Structure formats: structure tokens, C-alpha cells
Amino acid sequence: MSKIERPVVGIGEILFDMLPSGAQLGGAPANFAYHVCCLGGRGVAVSAIGKDDLGRQVKEILAAKKLEAVLPEVDYPTGVVKVSLDERGVPEYTIIEDVAWDNVPYTAEMKALASQAAAVCFGTLAQRNPVTRATVMSFIADMPADSLKVYDINLRQHFYSREIIEESLKVADILKINDEEIGVVGELFGMEGEWEAICRVLIESYGLRLVILTKGAEGSEVITMDEEFNVACPEVKIVDTVGAGDSFTAAFVNAYLRGEAIEDCHNIANRISAFVCSRAGAMPPYDLA
């Protein structure tokens, strides 16, 4: 099996955003796996669901999207994020704790999947509970030596620590981080200087191949020890930005696994994330020209 035929896994949280307009399936790992599939890879979502109606809905939605998933049912409720709007209409999120994705067991099916995986994308949020954290690290440990480990840091609320970030960086090949998160990491680790300088310290300290730094409307950078690639955001009519970062990571990883040059991977990722911003939801159907 060639590397591009092997599974590309998003592991961690799967949940419903309980929006004023209704529930919407979310979770960065599932979003990542979905976009890998849309781009021609074999994306697989790994998490856990409850033995409840929301868990049933998760399976139905992923099946409808033809997204492969490993989702053991556990004795905890399927994850939800409560979303409320303030007087200005700005959303505020409450990520409910002690839910299914906090308690993902490491199963034989996951171990078999890890042994074949070409790449995994994992974050910080799902590691807030020791159970899922151990599963994420066991999965990474069981992956082939030539596999790619992508740490999409994804800091949320207070669900992170220097210890979790540092242990994740130690097993990662690529770090994906945004302009807000790089400031948090710099402060946690006592690093000063420009964003690019902090990225290079992280590359050198943890043996990373590269860092992907996204900067919202200001575009993105891909930073290696010796090079720096900058790309501006394409002009598109933004519907919402939900899942745009996950699609960026998926597109970059998909192209990288196919052997594309870093600059080309970056351009492809930028184009795909702009497309996702022009559509509603984190998992829109692809109708690229």
C-alpha cells in the first residue's frame, strides 16, 4: 500500500455545536478527516460517542458524508458545546466536560489503524482528560516510522497546559498554530521576539520539519529553519469561517503526502480554506471549479 493510499487520521474530539439555529456537527479531527476525503485521500475520524441519540446522529451524518470513522460507544454523553450570543451577537462557547470524547478508549481497531496510517492530526483540546490523552499518544506510538504527525495545537478556553503542549511537540513533525496561539505559547515557554523567531525556536527545540502559522485575514506563513513562505488570503465572500483552519491543515497534509513542494502545499491549502470560508458550515460539499 503506497503512502497516499494509507489512512490519514484525525483523532480527538467529535461533538455538536449547539447553536441558536440548531445543532451542528463539529470537532477539528472530524473536520480534518472529512476534507482529506474530499481531496482524494482516505480520511478517518477517530473519537468516541455516547450511547444516546446524539451519538446515533453522529454516525448517521458521517455515513451520509461517506466519512470512515472509528467511534467506540462509551458510558458518557456525546460531546456538545453550548453556544450563546451576547448583546452584540458575538458567540460565547462553553465546552462541556466529562463527555464521550474525553474518554476515548484505545481499542484493537485503533491499534490496527495506527499501524497503517500515513499521517495523523491531533490537538490539545482532546488531551484535557488523561484517558483520551493516553489514547492519542498510544496511537502515535503505534504508527509506522515513515508516518507524519501533525500537531494542530487548537487551544480552547483553559483546556491546555505547558506539559501537554510540550509532550505533543516532542512527537510532532509539523506544528499548525494561529496568531493568537503563538502568543500564548511564547508566554508559556518564556520565549520573546517576533512570531517567526518563536516558530524557529520551536522547530530547533523539538525537531519539527516546519511550522504552519495562520494569521486570519492577514494570510498565512509556512516556516522552516531556512525558509519562509507567505501567502495572502484570496478575496472571497465569507459566509462563515467554521472549519476553515481544519480544511487548511487537511489540504496541506494531503499535498505534502503526495510529494508536492512546500510552497505548492501552502498555495493549495490557502485556496481550499478560502473556499470553505465561502460556504456554510465546517463540512460543505465540494464544488470546486
Q: What is the 3-state secondary structure (H, E, C) of 128-141?
A: HCHHHHHHHHHHHH
Taking 90 as the threshold, does the pLDDT of residue 254 lie above it? yes
Q: What single-letter DSSP state applies at residue 228? A: E
pLDDT of residue 1: 61
Domain boundaries defined on the chain: 3-277
- Categorise residue 198: left if φ over 0, alpha if ψ from -120 to 50, beta otherwise: alpha
pLDDT digits (tens, 9 = 90+) for 175-214: 999 999 999 999 999 998 889 999 999 999 999 999 999 9
Please state which of the four CATH numbers 1.20.1050.10, 2.30.30.60, 3.90.700.10, 3.40.1190.20 is assigned to the domain occupying 3-277.
Answer: 3.40.1190.20
CB atoms near residue 176 (< 10 Å) = 28
Per-residue pLDDT band at 53 (split at 50, 70, 90): very high
The amino acid at 266? H
Please provide the distance, in angstroms rounded to a whole number, between the alpha carbons at the two ends of the chain.
30
Spatial contact of 65 and 283, defined as CB atoms under 8 Å apart: yes
Rounded to the nearest 10°, the torsion over CA 74, 76, 77, 82 is -130
CA angle 125, 269, 256 (to 5 degrees): 90
What is the SS3 assignment for 9-64?
Answer: EEECCCEEEEECCEEEEECHHHHHHHHHHHCCCEEEEECCEECCHHHHHHHHHHHH
d(CA 219, CA 235): 11
Q: What single-letter DSSP state applies at residue 149? A: E
pTM value surpassing 0.85: yes
Tell me the average pLDDT across 90-112: 91
Taking 70 as the threshold, does the pLDDT of residue 274 lie above it? yes
pLDDT of residue 127: 98
Spatial contact of 252 and 235, defined as CB atoms under 8 Å apart: no
